[in-house]
Structure 1
Amino acid sequence: MNDEFLRDLREGLSKPQKSIPPKYLYDAVGSELFEAITRTEDYYVTRTEAGIMETVYGELPEFCPPGAAIAEFGSGAGVKSQRLVDALKPSVYVMIDVAEEFLKASAEKMRSLFPDTEVHGVVGDFSGTVALPSSFLENECRMGFFPGSTIGNFEAGGAQDFLARSRESLGKGALFLIGADLVKDEDILLAAYDDSEGITRQFTLNVLERMNRELDAGVDLSKFEAVALWNPTEARMELGVVALAPQAINLGGERISIEKGEMIHTENSHKYTRESMDRIARAAGWEVERVWTDPREWFGVFLLKAA
């Protein structure tokens, strides 16, 4: 039994606003479903960022030359990494992810594609402190990579805390390349987080299936519906599941009741402006060196430098 998973679920589902930490969305199944989401027509984030990155690749060497060390936080399948490693030709590339088996397979693939690059797979929750290998820390040019607007998934104040911890992990003078989704029309956001193919629904509901697989929780998935809501006051999408009928969930012998209409919150996706990103970066000890966006300014890629 996964004791940490069980403990966090008990804590989160006992709160007045029930919640499940978003890191638990990304087991092997969830990681594969998320990769599928990025390929849907409605989810603009990945392809918009990819378009911006084609410009970024050409300009990054003026900040970080070949032979640098790169650490990607939440590397997933490493699809974006392949293009980055090919363009920058780092001597060391570190993949950090919570899904161990998924990470092992991704790291092996990267090693086969880039035999001249030292590839490390580090299993860890990047919301905490991450221990990076010495070959990374000893490199003169160190750069963190955090694409896909994952920075938007932190709770209030969490993004700033993450940037502060990452500054400590990466070291003085390090760079950090971060993708951040920008504030835009509500209809575009709602379509992106409730795609017409229904993959986002599967992704959100998978965490309930995971509870059954790993903890024998007895969750009746037919009694839940995945939801995605826009909160304009907080500039964020709010994702979760809503109970369609009352039921009880078994967590290691402890039964937790869920009422009809009650929401279990699984994830936020905050949207940023140039100003809000600059504000949290400075508060965490970073300076914004460069910003790249698409013509519609739907997405931004921010290059930070540790002050």
Structure 2
Amino acid sequence: MNEDFLRDVLEGLKRPQPSLPAKWLYDQTGSELFEEITQTDDYYVTRTEAEVMEEVYPELRAICGEDAAIAEFGSGAGIKSRRLIEEMKPSAYVMIDVAEDFLRDSEKRLRADFPAVQVTGVVGDFHNAVKLPQSFEGATCRLGFFPGSTIGNFEEGGAQDFLSKSRETLGDRSRFLVGVDLVKDEDVLLAAYDDDEGVTRRFTKNVLVRMKTELDAEIDLDAFEAIALWNSDAERIELGNLAMSDTEIAVGGERFQFAKGDLLHTENSHKFTEASFTRIAEASGWKIAKMWTDPRQWFGVFLLEAD
């Protein structure tokens, strides 16, 4: 039994607003579902970021030169990195991810596809500082990569804490390329997080499935429905599993009651303005070197430099 998972579940269920850390959404199944989400018609984030990145590559090549190493935080399948590797031709690419099985599969594929690049998978929780291999440390240009606006998934204050920890991980004179989803029309946002295919709902509910299979929890999965809400005051999408009837969850020798309408919160997706993200980055020891965006200003790619 995963004791860390059990501890976080018990702590989360005891909160006034029951909630679970978003990192537990990403086992093998969750990671695969998330990759599927990025391909849905409603999820604009991946397509828009890819559009912006086409403008980024030539400038980034000029900045980094020929001796670059890339470390991607929460790499998943490494899909977004493939284009970056093709364009940057780095000497090394480091994948950091908490889902080890998924990481090893991705590592194997990338090694086969990019034999000239030293690909290394590091199992780690990027919420904390991570020790990177010498293949990264020795490069002239050390570039962190955090695409997909995953920066928006942290709890309040978590984005600043992550940027501080990543500053420690990447080291002095490093750079950090961060994809950031920007505030926009509510209808566009809600459609992206409640797609017609229902993939996001399966993704959100997967944490309950994990609790049943990995922690022997007693849960009536049919009693919960995955939902997405827009909180305009906090400028974030809120995801969770809503109790559709009175029910309970039994896990770790304890029982937790849910009345109809109670929410088990699983994840936030904060949206940013250029000003709000700049404030967080600068408070974390980074400075903004450059920002790129699309014509609709739906998505921003920020290049940070260690200050």
Normalised to the residue count of structure 2, the TM-score between the two structures is 0.98
Please show how residues 99-248 of structure 1 align to structure 2 within 5 Å.
99-248=99-248
Bigger Cα displacement from structure 2, 118-127 vs 242-251: 242-251
Q: Is the 8 A contact 1:73 1:144 kept in 2?
A: yes
1:152 deviates by 0.3
Q: Is the 8 A contact 1:180 1:272 kept in 2?
A: yes
1:252 deviates by 2.1
Please show how residues 1-307 of structure 1 align to structure 2 within 5 Å.
1-307=1-307
1:248 deviates by 2.1
Matched residue SS, 1:30: helix
CA distance in 2, matches of 1:255, 1:104: 36
Normalised to the residue count of structure 1, the TM-score between the two structures is 0.98
How many residue pairs get matched? 307
CA distance in 1, matches of 2:65, 2:34: 32
After the TM superposition, which parts of structure 1 deviate over 6 Å for at least 4 consecutive aligned residues? none
Matched residue SS, 1:85: helix
Bigger Cα displacement from structure 2, 267-276 vs 255-264: 255-264
Paired amino acid for 2:274: R
CA distance in 1, matches of 2:222, 2:248: 13
CA distance in 2, matches of 1:25, 1:201: 12
Matched residue SS, 2:46: helix
Q: Is the 8 A contact 1:243 1:259 kept in 2?
A: yes
Q: Is the 8 A contact 1:244 1:261 kept in 2?
A: yes
Alignment RMSD: 0.8
CA distance in 2, matches of 1:236, 1:13: 22
1:62 deviates by 1.7
1:135 deviates by 2.1
Matched residue SS, 1:184: coil
Q: Is the 8 A contact 1:73 1:146 kept in 2?
A: yes
CA distance in 2, matches of 1:174, 1:95: 17
Gaps of 5+ in 1: none
CA distance in 2, matches of 1:216, 1:207: 13
Q: Is the 8 A contact 1:67 1:92 kept in 2?
A: no
Q: Is the 8 A contact 2:152 2:180 kept in 1?
A: yes
CA distance in 2, matches of 1:94, 1:254: 40
CA distance in 2, matches of 1:253, 1:231: 34
Gaps of 5+ in 2: none
